[in-house]
Amino acid sequence: MKSVEHEDRLQRELAQKQQEVSAREYAQLDKQTRTQHSPFIDMRDAYAQVRDKNYQPTQQEIEYQRFTSGAWIDNEKGK
């Protein structure tokens, strides 16, 4: 009788240990795969500095941008 009780206790302990290991593994996986949200960076100041410089691209840059994007980027403003 004690042998049956002993084996039953060992099986329950083994099942509990396996459950604890599974719970730890799941917690680690959940921590690694959770999406980390960060706030958006405010780029208004950087954009204002770029606009203030009034950069004019060279003809070569215009042709390259037109070739790679397929857009007409050297049109007059407003057209």
- pLDDT tens digits, 17-73: 999 999 999 999 988 888 777 888 889 998 899 889 988 888 898 888 888 886 665
Does residue 75 lie within any of the structural domains? no
pLDDT at 79 over 50: no
If DSSP codes are grouped into helix, strand and coil, which group holds residue 44? helix
Number of domains in the chain: 1
Does residue 74 lie within any of the structural domains? no
Confidence (pLDDT) at 34: 80
Are 74 and 62 spatial neighbours (Cβ–Cβ below 8 Å)?
Answer: yes
Domain containing residue 57? 2-34+42-69
- pLDDT tens digits, 35-45: 777 888 889 99
Are 74 and 66 spatial neighbours (Cβ–Cβ below 8 Å)?
Answer: yes
